[in-house]
Amino acid sequence: MIKPCFDACLEKLKGRVLYNAQFDGGFFDAEILKDLILKKTGREINLNTIDREFGIVPAKFKPSTYTLDTLSIFCGYANWGDFYMVNKESLPTS
């Protein structure tokens, strides 16, 4: 059942991104997040991508590997694979 685990890991990653950006539940600014990600990782994510990944606008597709890697790097991991391997065991599978 890879999909539920993927989805749960993705949600955990997004939570970590918001935590690392020091956004609380009532504050979110895609432009600020974009700048923080660029400054910390040297990698750029489009504002539209940020809006899709954080639920500002509907997403039709899963995020790209580049986006997953960039968000993972922002959280201190080598890439999405590293984040996934470290975190998948601690997530519910149902």
Q: What is the DSSP string of 18-37?
A: HHHTT--TT---HHHHHHHH
Residue 48 domain boundaries: 2-90
Q: Are 65 and 80 in contact (CB under 8 A)?
A: yes
- pTM exceeds 0.85 for this model: yes
Question: What are the angstrom distances between the C-alpha of 30 and each of 58, 82, 86?
Answer: 15, 25, 27
Query: Is the pLDDT reported for residue 2 higher than 60?
Result: no
Into how many domains does the chain fold? 1
pLDDT by residue (tens digit) across 42-84? Answer: 999 999 999 999 888 888 999 999 999 999 999 999 999 999 9
